[in-house]
Structure 1
Amino acid sequence: MFKATACLTIDLLGIWVPEEFVTQRNSNANPPTFFLTLQFILRNFANSLMDGDDRLGTLERLYPRLQAWFDWFNTTQIGEESGTYRWRGRDGTTNRELNPKTLTSGLDDYPRASHPNIDERHVDLRCWIAMAASALSEIAQLLNRNGNRYNNTFLYLSDNDFLDNLHWSPKSESYSDFGLHTDGVVLKRPPAPKTHGHHPQHKPDMIRVVTKAPELKFVDTTFGYVSLFPFLLQLLNPYSPKLGKILKDLQRPEFLWTEYGLRSLGKSSPLYMKRNTEHDPPYWRGPIWINMNYMAVRALDFYSHQDGPYRAEAGKLYAKLRHNVITNIHREYRRTGYVWEQYNDKTGEGQGSRPFTGWSALVVLLMAELY
């Protein structure tokens, strides 16, 4: 192992990995996506588990580990205000990044509050914790354990009025993060210092310049995947007008809708397709990601089967979005021979890593309608 001057680390396999991806810290979490798998098992195979299936023994052995994992999440990621959560690991001192990355969220350069501090509250993390609590409560019931504290946590965090109070922006009428924020940030190159009367050969890197002071507020000029999380993790009441607003916004081309799937960041957002540094092209700032589109189709399927005023609309959107995603991935596979990490929101072309049979392979579940 050795450290390179360009802030890169090479691992034992000889693969170059950005240094910020290498160091692991006990205070920093990642999305507890394993609970989605558990939720799928509970919804589809709970009856067979209760019929003496040996897999119930596996769940018995897994349960205390899930408890420890959840309890760690629910203590290390809490926010300053009751019922709030924030991703740790953001760099509040950087002057290189247009918007400090939130690597721990799994959404990397997706725009958050411009000036990370302890007052931040992240709507996606709150929803992850609520969903995990719900799954643990169901597992406890299946195992005949006392899961009241998990059920109470779920009810507390999924209360729509409470959620709206902390994360619904009246201005944008969307779910938003909250924090110390300004949209007045740009990347500029500082003047190059002269050396003995001569200009240096190398230009200095561009740095972030703040043109308008930040203030504590909703990060509501940004609309994208994070704005959808109460919907994606199915926490919204099927009768909630907020659900109707989200379904309407999903279809707006200036926001997320494309013929190829939902883009990660709305075209109307200030940082849409903006580089985070001059060396870091946009990653979660426009391109289409299949894991999030799978979750959106999954949520549409869920709400299309719930009684309420938006049932029919959810069903129509379900058919359209599912068709768009499957058609584009298949077309690109036929054209290139690859399943890709992400897809261009303007052309649908595959881009990033390939072959990428990680979460992009969720298209197989979309085709089989397994949610």
Structure 2
Amino acid sequence: MKYIWLFVILLCGCAGQSFLNVQADYRNVLNISNWPQGIREGVSLFSDLGAWHGFAFIPDSVGMAGGFSGPMSMASNYAVGSYTAVASVVVDGVLQEVTNAIVEKSYFPGRMIQSFTWETLTLTQEIVFVNNRTSLLRTRVRNTGGPKEVKIIYEGSFFTQYFQGQVIDGRTVYLEFPATKCCFEIEAGEGCHAVVRDGKYRFETEVRKFGRGEEREDMFVYSAYFNDEPEHVKHPVLEENPFEESEPFFEMAAQRWERYIEKLFENKSELFTNLKYRRIAVKCLMTLMANWRSAAHDLLHDGGYPSYWGFSTGFWSWDSWKIAAAIGRWEPELAKDHIRALFDYQTEEGMIPDFVSRIKYINNLRDTKPPLASWAVEEIYDADGDLSFVEEMFDRLLRYHNWWYAYRDVDQNGLCEYGATDGTLQAAAWESGMDNAVRFDSTEMLKGELPKAWSMSQESVDLNTYLYDEKMTLARFARLLNREEFANQLEKDAGILADRIRQIMFDDENGYFFDVRLKSHALIPVYGPEGWLPLWAGVANQKQADQVRNIMMDVNRFNSFVPLGTLDLSHPRLEPERGYWRGPVWLDQAYFGIRGLRNYGYDKEANELTLKILNNCQGLLGDQPIHENYNPLTGETLNAPHFGWSSAHLLLMMFEYK
């Protein structure tokens, strides 16, 4: 609620027709036609405002008039049913067959619209979200011929193996999934009678007389909430009654999404003069907003799923930092909540969980994730200039930064290692974010002095580069907060760390940065994205950057069809299709590499790599979703679709193109 009503104040004017005109270029950037059969994994959908439900279009092949797939639960991997609000339209006693209709379906940013046009009658249905628990489905029937009598029956289904259904007050269908406490209400307007029977629900209207040119409207209010939430959370108060006047809600959604797009393209990247790249940018925007989930149960602030496909239990720290860095460009308050949602569970020692859940007892404190929180806060600050947020986060960020040196520097030499609280290599690899990277194939776990302090037997160049960047960012924050002496000390410490990275972790002979073994500091000669991180943070000297650039641009190493994969193409353990962190291209790491090249004057190369990614990642230029990672040799999509940090880093790449 705190996001949506602000837009009413900030924006004015009629949105109805202008909404479609302004956004016509972004119609159907994503194909969201699906037919769920229980488990909703793989389903593409529309969700907004952090709501806990979503919808898709019913595929044309199903042959249904009107209606949408779902609704889908965003609190589990299940759909409520295959369809909702499917309309059986009877005109003068004759059922209108969908095969005789002209059908048009449009997924615009912030709105689904579909129309079914027969010879003298048109049925139009639209969906928008109005708050973090509620959406509206509006059906309008327009008579374009002579007088007629029309009766409509709206039908939906629910999976009885998961959901229980009943009718409340004659015109509200209540569906509950006891295993997840997730509940759905579908409320119809006056004149609709609800029935629930045998896994189906229906709303029947009276026979209505239509004159020439006359239009009638049926409104349905969908609510998804948890049965143990307070009433004011389940049903946020609406400023108007949608059954009496629906248009203000649809105009408000249009205005909000127009503002998002305007903010997105305040960036004057040369790429945005080309419609095909603007469509990718809007696809990123829509993906990130569909992954937005509002506070619920033990999630104390709003945040974002990595993807609503298979990640329906909570928020991951590394994903949250990266997603927030992009969302801050158009919705900084939401970006701040992404950060807060993880810091709500910061431990007394300063550690941030890898993952926080709607059910907090399954929060993951076996490991954390690489320290990019300060970077994310800086990105948000640069977007909106809110110093109060920097002040709010500073001490928390500093505690997190210092935690690394207390719990992840087993030999106390100022170079940190990835590790785990439970001493397992699995959790330590998770902590790196690169779960199965080749560089960890021969590492071991070592016990530190403090309780639950375990480290890998190698010091990682990416981790220490992130920590360098944190020192510099915290120094900037300290100056903004008038803590000059503290800023000077952080900068001094950062300089010492940068010298050690340059001297210990760079291989002069091979021209690349590598992880090193503890004590001996023997290099671990695996070429991966960790080796270009010192360029991203500005640690490398120019000669080192020149050598790293040469390896990045080598077509036999990293400059593949989709460039900047997670393992040197010549490595014998390369697995470009199923390797996860052993070859596929992850767009966060590709972004860090491209930004690193720009930091050292290699804008031509950075532009070349950016365009290869945008043009060669399968589906980016079409209506397919943005994926978790990509095959570097073919561009094939890999793993989870609708992936948040991929969307975030595509935007950052495009923003910085020059």
TM-score w.r.t. the length of structure 2 is: 0.40
Find the structure with the greater CA-based Rg. Answer: 2
Q: Which structure has the higher relative contact order (CA within 8 Å, separation 6+)?
A: 1
Q: Deviations over 1:76-111 (max 9, x none)?
A: 1214251311100399888xx9xx971101111112
CA contact 2:576–2:632 (8 Å) conserved in 1: no
1:106 to 424, 433, 443: 433
AA aligned to 2:537 is: L
1:351 and 1:289 mapped to 2: Cα distance?
10
CA contact 1:123–1:167 (8 Å) conserved in 2: yes
Structure 2 counterpart of 1:132: 470
Structure 1 counterpart of 2:173: none
Deviation at 1:218, TM superposition (A): 1.5
Deviation at 1:72, TM superposition (A): 1.3
1:90 and 1:261 mapped to 2: Cα distance?
35
1:339 to 626, 647, 656: 626
AA aligned to 1:261 is: P
AA aligned to 2:460 is: H
* Number of equivalenced pairs: 291
SS of match in other structure, 2:467: helix
CA contact 1:130–1:157 (8 Å) conserved in 2: yes
CA pair 91-64 structure 1, distance change in 2 beyond 3 A = closer
- Residue 498 of structure 2 is aligned to residue 158 of structure 1: yes
AA aligned to 1:246 is: V
CA contact 1:127–1:235 (8 Å) conserved in 2: yes
2:553 to 251, 259, 277: 251
2:599 and 2:443 mapped to 1: Cα distance?
36
Q: Deviations over 1:24-58 (max 9, x none)?
A: 336x331122222234356x46xx84xxxxx2222
CA contact 2:437–2:582 (8 Å) conserved in 1: yes
Structure 1 counterpart of 2:63: none
2:610 and 2:487 mapped to 1: Cα distance?
36
Higher strand share: 2
- Residue 372 of structure 2 is aligned to residue 33 of structure 1: yes
2:422 and 2:551 mapped to 1: Cα distance?
32
- Residue 570 of structure 2 is aligned to residue 268 of structure 1: yes
SS of match in other structure, 2:517: strand
1:91 and 1:70 mapped to 2: Cα distance?
20
- Residue 530 of structure 2 is aligned to residue 226 of structure 1: yes
CA contact 1:341–1:353 (8 Å) conserved in 2: yes
2:368 and 2:376 mapped to 1: Cα distance?
18
2:540 to 236, 249, 268: 236
1:91 and 1:171 mapped to 2: Cα distance?
38
CA contact 2:415–2:464 (8 Å) conserved in 1: yes
In the TM superposition, 1:354-369 aligns within 5 A as: 354-369=641-656
CA pair 287-245 structure 1, distance change in 2 beyond 3 A = same
Deviation at 1:149, TM superposition (A): 2.9
In the TM superposition, 1:290-305 aligns within 5 A as: 290-304=587-601
CA pair 165-216 structure 1, distance change in 2 beyond 3 A = closer
Deviation at 1:217, TM superposition (A): 2.9
Q: Where do 5+ consecutive residues of structure 2 fail to align?
A: 1-74, 78-309, 314-353, 356-361, 447-456
CA contact 1:233–1:299 (8 Å) conserved in 2: yes
2:517 and 2:363 mapped to 1: Cα distance?
26
AA aligned to 2:463 is: L
CA contact 1:339–1:361 (8 Å) conserved in 2: no
Q: Where do 5+ consecutive residues of structure 1 fail to align?
A: 1-11, 50-54, 181-214, 276-280, 305-313
1:260 and 1:23 mapped to 2: Cα distance?
35
Deviation at 1:345, TM superposition (A): 0.8
- Residue 630 of structure 2 is aligned to residue 326 of structure 1: no
Deviation at 1:178, TM superposition (A): 1.7
- Residue 393 of structure 2 is aligned to residue 68 of structure 1: no
2:406 and 2:657 mapped to 1: Cα distance?
33
1:361 and 1:127 mapped to 2: Cα distance?
21
AA aligned to 2:524 is: V
Deviation at 1:151, TM superposition (A): 1.8
Deviation at 1:125, TM superposition (A): 0.8
Q: Deviations over 1:202-231 (max 9, x none)?
A: xxxxxxxxxxxxx973211x1011121211
1:325 and 1:297 mapped to 2: Cα distance?
11
AA aligned to 2:595 is: R
2:607 and 2:394 mapped to 1: Cα distance?
36
Deviation at 1:361, TM superposition (A): 3.6
Structure 1 counterpart of 2:228: none
CA pair 92-62 structure 1, distance change in 2 beyond 3 A = closer
SS of match in other structure, 1:352: strand
SS of match in other structure, 2:644: coil
2:544 and 2:536 mapped to 1: Cα distance?
13
CA pair 23-346 structure 1, distance change in 2 beyond 3 A = same
Deviation at 1:130, TM superposition (A): 0.7
CA pair 155-57 structure 1, distance change in 2 beyond 3 A = same
1:142 to 480, 491, 516: 480
Deviation at 1:252, TM superposition (A): 1.0
1:366 and 1:274 mapped to 2: Cα distance?
23
Deviation at 1:336, TM superposition (A): 5.4
How big is the alpha-carbon RMSD for the aligned residues of Structure 1 and Structure 2?
Answer: 3.2
AA aligned to 1:108 is: D
SS of match in other structure, 1:341: strand
- Residue 408 of structure 2 is aligned to residue 77 of structure 1: yes
Deviation at 1:364, TM superposition (A): 2.3
Q: Deviations over 1:8-30 (max 9, x none)?
A: xxxx947699xx9867336x331
Structure 2 counterpart of 1:24: 364
2:432 and 2:630 mapped to 1: Cα distance?
20
CA contact 1:273–1:282 (8 Å) conserved in 2: yes
1:234 and 1:82 mapped to 2: Cα distance?
22
Runs of 4+ that moved beyond 6 A: 14-17, 20-23, 90-94
AA aligned to 1:362 is: H
CA contact 2:588–2:645 (8 Å) conserved in 1: no
Structure 1 counterpart of 2:461: 123
